[in-house]
Amino acid sequence: MPYHQIISLVVTLIVSGFSITLILSKFKGMSLSYHKLNLDHYEKMKALCGRDANEKLCELRVALVAYTNKPLLINEIEWFIHVPGAFTHLKKFGKCHKYLGIDILNNKFIWSEKFQTRKNIIIEQFKVFFFYVILGTLGVFIILSYEFIYNLLGIIPAIFSQVFALFLCGGALSFLRVLDVIGDSKQLLKVELC
> Which residues, 6 or more positions from 115, have their beta carbon under 8 angstroms from its beta carbon?
99, 121, 124
Tens-digit pLDDT profile for residues 128-140:
999 988 998 898 8
Q: Determine how many CB atoms are found less than 10 A away from the CB of residue 112.
A: 16
Tens-digit pLDDT profile for residues 140-167:
888 888 788 888 888 888 888 888 988 9
C-alpha angle 170/18/96, rounded to 5°? 85
Tens-digit pLDDT profile for residues 173-183:
889 889 889 98
The secondary element (H helix, E strand) that includes residue 88 is none
Using alpha carbons, list the distances in angstroms from residue 72 to 75, 96, 150.
8, 13, 52
pLDDT at 1: 57
Q: SS3 of 33, please?
A: helix
Q: SS3 of 1, please?
A: coil
Name which of 72, 65, 129 is nearest 100 in CA terms: 72
Whole-model pTM: value is: 0.70
How far apart, in whole angstroms, are the C-alpha atoms of residue 21 and residue 15?
10
Does the pLDDT at position 187 exceed 60? yes
Least confident range from 40-44, 151-155, 183-187: namely 40-44
Q: Determine how many CB atoms are found less than 10 A away from the CB of residue 132.
A: 19
